[in-house]
Amino acid sequence: MSGWSNIRSGVAGQRDTLVESLKRPHEVQRQLLQQIIDQNRDCEFGERYDFRSIRTIEEYQRRVPLHDYDDLRSDIDRMLAGEKNVLLTDDVLLFETTGGSTGGSKSLPLTEAGFKAIRRAVLPWLDDLVTSRPGITEGTAYWAISPATRQQSRTPGGIPIGITNDAIYFGKELAQSIGSTLAVPPSVASIRSFSEWQLETIYHLLRCRDLSFVSVWSPTFLLQLLDAALDNIELIASRVDQNRAAELHEIFSAEQIQWQCLWPQLDTISCWCSSSSRRYANELAKRFPETNIQGKGLLATEGVVTVPLTDAGAAVLTVGSAFYEFETENGDIVLPWELRTGEHYNVLLTTAAGLYRYRLGDRVLVVGYYEATPCLEFIGRDGRGSDLCGEKLTEEFVESALRDICGFGFLVPLAKPRPAYLLILDAAVVSADQAKTAARIADSNLMNNPQYRYARELGQLPPVEPHRVTDPLGVYNSICIQSGQRLGDIKPAALASAAWGELFGKGMAR
């Protein structure tokens, strides 16, 4: 396809540029940090920490403290209201929302420099992909980057909220070429009704015989679409041409569905494959045994951390996209070239879009080195949290969502057979009807997290399900004590781990 040919030429050389930077991470990181400091020395934050006098990494670390989102919230609120030169000197093009802690959501500024930093990571990945997996260039593609059914809004200061055109990630030069390869028209993303969006998406995917590449975030997103296709096959078959309808009826009427037969040219599926997403990526691999399932790197709303490279066999730190620091379990701060293989770290970012020594909240495992740069695997969120399919719930936020629950109650994630959340309640305190009401209230409160709301709207997560248990606190304490905790040290959690989901999901009376 001419679109893929243009993409090939548009990203040619990007991988080599990234690899060269991986050979000298110290130099690249030092130069990038100084560039960010110099660019923002005249903004309020830069003056607050005297950016003009900073000339080394060590000076930057001594001068600027570590930050969580709440440390920056007041500054970002002023930016949302339209104030300029607060955290950065560049104009903010738009704000993107993501899951937060007690507030439920975070608003993060995106600038032209920020998008260029993203492209310095995703274009080398795309270059590597079309070179190593040329089969993807022989058909059409499905990209799911920004949330579906989104309607763009604006901040009190008039700045757009949310990306509605994913081409901005790749730049204007590639936008038209990528658009010409799409199996699902961009206009489908503007459909407000989720059920209508899902049906239109499935229709366009199933009418397409030559789908060769799929890029989604959570593998549960694609699994949900496949299950919906099975539920709507008659309606979809009535809309496609007769030959394709016959093919679809044959595939879906089989005793065991051969999903690969839907798209025999499907070369690669790009999705999360680590941490809680691993089991669902494995399910995709079972359904598409002839398709390459490539794990995504660590790409957060705040910035890019890693992208996969074929030769590396893992996701490598994109040293030209942000300045990175890493926090050890005992609180020490180390730099990329100081990471040790086999050890866990929390990620800190300094970006061109106004984040400084920012705790991303993600934990990574160092799985090796490529050239002189570490390869990292995402292993979960820092501290107590849950992320079954991208919802990023934290202990603090869930606690606030359950604040009106009567008696002892907490939320537990249930990973199988499909992602879900159980609200554990005391059967002696709440009736069955009260439990249903409590679950509805909890679900409504959790919707304040945009990722949770998105997963619910897509059907990746069902509504919170009430689960009444006899003496749940006693059960909780007993299990904690069996695991080695002292009774005096046990603090009932609002959000339990996935292991608790296994326990409470089996055999307990509701």
Contact 182, 143 (CB under 8 A): yes
Name the nearest CA neighbour of 423 among 433, 408, 431, 202: 408
* pLDDT for residue 509: 35
* pLDDT for residue 501: 63
Report the alpha-carbon distance of residue 474 to residue 479 in Å, rounded: 9
Cis-peptide into 492, omega within 30 deg: no
> Percent of the chain beyond pLDDT 90?
65
Report the alpha-carbon distance of residue 434 to residue 25 in Å, rounded: 57
DSSP 8-state code for residue 495? B
List all residues 6 or more positions away from 509 whose beta carbon is below 8 Å from its beta carbon. Answer: 427, 468, 469, 470
Range scoring the smallest mean pLDDT among 129-138, 148-157, 355-364, 475-484: 475-484
Specify the length of the chain in residues. Answer: 510
Report the alpha-carbon distance of residue 256 to residue 326 in Å, rounded: 47
Pick from 146-155, 241-250, 479-488 the range whose average pLDDT is largest.
241-250
Vertex 218 angle, CA 422 and 400, to 5°: 40
Does the pLDDT value for residue 124 go beyond 90?
A: yes
Give the pLDDT band of residue 494 (cuts 50, 70, 90).
confident
Q: Which residues pair with 385 in a beta bridge?
A: 394
Range scoring the smallest mean pLDDT among 32-36, 130-134, 378-382: 378-382
Does the pLDDT value for residue 303 go beyond 90?
A: yes
pTM listed for this prediction: 0.83
Report the alpha-carbon distance of residue 480 to residue 464 in Å, rounded: 24
Contact 326, 346 (CB under 8 A): yes
* Residue range 184-220, pLDDT digits in tens: 998 888 888 878 988 999 999 999 999 999 999 888 7
* pLDDT for residue 150: 64
* pLDDT for residue 238: 94
* pLDDT for residue 417: 77
* pLDDT for residue 481: 58
3-state secondary structure of 214: strand
What's the average model confidence in pLDDT over 341-356? 97
Give the pLDDT band of residue 487 (cuts 50, 70, 90).
very low
- Retrieve residue 446's tokens: 């959790």
What's the average model confidence in pLDDT over 469-484? 69
Upper half-sphere CA count for residue 489 (Cβ side, 13 Å)? 6
Q: Quick count: other Cβ atoms within 10 Å of Cβ 449?
A: 27
* Residue range 364-410, pLDDT digits in tens: 999 999 999 999 999 877 766 788 888 888 877 888 888 877 767 78
